[in-house]
Amino acid sequence: MSERTPVDGPFRIHVDATPSGVGLDVSHYLTAVILGIASAAEEDGEQLLDGLRDIAELARSAAHQGPDSHAAHERDEEVQRLLAEVADDGVIPVYGDQVARLRDRLALLTAPRPVPGQRGAA
């Protein structure tokens, strides 16, 4: 495990500084999600594709009707149903000492730092 990777399992999370905060690299988890979708497609590709098309249609409707529309709520329910099927509800578990390492890494990268070239108060 590296300093950059405070969470090493079951899904690795890398944390890097960005100019305005931090970036959380959850690509290991997203790989598992894509593999779950691929598995669902192998089991019943037509049903999965129909569900994805429904989500896309609901997303288009929600874009026109607004974030609190019936279409937006229905879209969110369908996405949650799919996540429950392929991705353990979309939750990335973090256990034990990894919780503290993630907290510490985030605190380190978000702590105020002096701006280069700026002089301290005299």
List the chain domain ranges: 1-26+92-114, 43-91
**Residue 87 is which amino acid?**
A
Q: Which residue has the tokens 């879209």?
A: 75
The 10s digit of each residue's pLDDT in 52-106 is 999 999 999 999 999 999 999 999 999 999 999 999 999 999 999 999 999 999 9
- What average pLDDT score do residues 42-61 get? 97
Q: Rounded to the nearest 10 degrees, what angle do helices 70-86 and 27-65 cross at?
A: 160
Q: Nearest Cα to 79, choosing from 90, 70, 67, 69?
A: 90
